Structure 1
Amino acid sequence: MRYLLPLAVMLGACAPAQDDSSSATADREYATQVEAPTPDYAMLVKQTRLEGESYVRRDATGPMPPDAKAVGQSWFERLEAENLLLGAGFDGKGPSGAVTHLDVGMTESEFRSWTTQNGLDVPTHISWSFVPPMNLPAVSEAASEGIRVWPASSARTGAQNEALLAGRVELRDGCFWATEGEGEADKLAFFHAEIGLDRDSEGYYILVDRVGGQTRARLGEAMSWGGPPTAYIAPEAERDLRAACGDAPILVVGSPESSERFLTSYPHLRNPVAPPPPPGAD
């Protein structure tokens, strides 16, 4: 197997030769982790979640005004323009009705500060939901030296497709590469904002849940994720990713989880039993 020995992660020095003023950059080495042994997920799934705000819902408290449709549309567009709109509910049978609910990609306290700073009156006839805070940094100090760029969204994640997809994410020379299904990991991986990077006690690079703090996978493991996932990719994020890692297609992997961790959490799926045939089927 090609997994990396604890505390001896393979490094690849491939920065191009530069003049003396850039020698520190030229000499920098980046990490590679294309396989890893499976950790003890029976223990890891019992990790205590980090404390903090949870998802918050603020119910509507006021009557719907005559201009409810215009008010709701202005808030819909305001949040959408800031990449803060995660979802919406409408009166009646669809988007032609007035907005009655908005899912916001901020915590409740962030939303309160934002509306105060911008002098916005929050309508009371709309219900609101807010995301929990992220308790971990996008990249830990221990992991930061081994990578060129962290390819994750700057916007919080809303409702996603839920088909179970399988693939792999690996780290090669400081860049994150992914494949869906079998085959070579030849696409640039891109993660949801809630996924972060750290190194575990054995030195392996791991994906972590920035909200709850749990270990989701070691890079190089077989993984699964819900999808096809979507994520906001800011122009500057794509520019930085391209500058660091090249022009390969980008594959949004969202919030990957080790396949073994998934099966540890749902052991009945490890050896699924086929349902009996329908009556009369021979």
Structure 2
Amino acid sequence: MKYFVDKNTNLRNFISEKLKISKNKSKNLIDKRIVFVNNKRIWISNYNLKVGDIIQIPDYIDNSSFDLKNSIIYEDDFIIGVNKYYNIITDNNYKSLENLLKNYFSNNEIKAIHRLDKETSGANIFAKNNTIFENFKENWDEIYIKKIYLAKSYNSADFDKIEINSPIDGKPANTKVHLISKNNKYSFFKIELSTGRKHQIRIHLSKLGYPILGDKIYGPNILKSDLEKFTQRQMLHSYEILIKNPFNNNLINIKAPLSEDFSNILLKLGFNPKLCDSK
């Protein structure tokens, strides 16, 4: 949606008036970092507008309600693997994926073994009780084998593969980036992690000059393409996790199919979603 400012006001009041919503809801919308003023991402609710400014707001989709049953991609006696939708947090909230699983399985002991960012989709693993959780966490360095992500980034990569060793918050962080495909504006990457720092992939790709499409924190704030402005979330997907069960040493390989929105954006950018297994 595009609006033209016809009087001096602030962003919160303007959106409240145009969308006929409360000022609190207007502020919540601005806080999502999806509002653009003259092609610049703005998240300050009292931002002053001038006559002639152009405001753009996407039709934001909240998919916090989803088909949990069909999102369960792995289960054994110890863990549950879920293909997490974007816009849902992993734990520590009554609307979290962890809580949805507790209700679905009637099991209040279910606990997330690792977290994904709210806007990241893909493979997310949960323990069925606290004993299992503690065992996985205590032995994580020994049982963790491989974690693969897929990302769509700004700019055309000038490499086929690269390894990034750059500390995050004073801790070692290692990211291996493989180029799947590229065009003159974007790159499609497969990424392997050997460490798991907060926002690791997003930070490393941004520092490298290839911020993730839709990243509202580490990506560019001035965008002219409607596709870039209205990409609903960061285009990062937890594609595959390979671990060893500490109770029986069985290998567990969990692969999360691409979400519909991720595949659709790939196609719009000119990439074939089937290429994700090509590297």
TM-score (norm 2): 0.28
> Taking CA–CA contacts closer than 8 Å with sequence separation of 6 or more, which of the two structures ends up with the larger relative contact order?
1
User: More helix by proportion, 1 or 2?
Assistant: 2
**Greater C-alpha Rg:** 1
TM-score (norm 1): 0.28
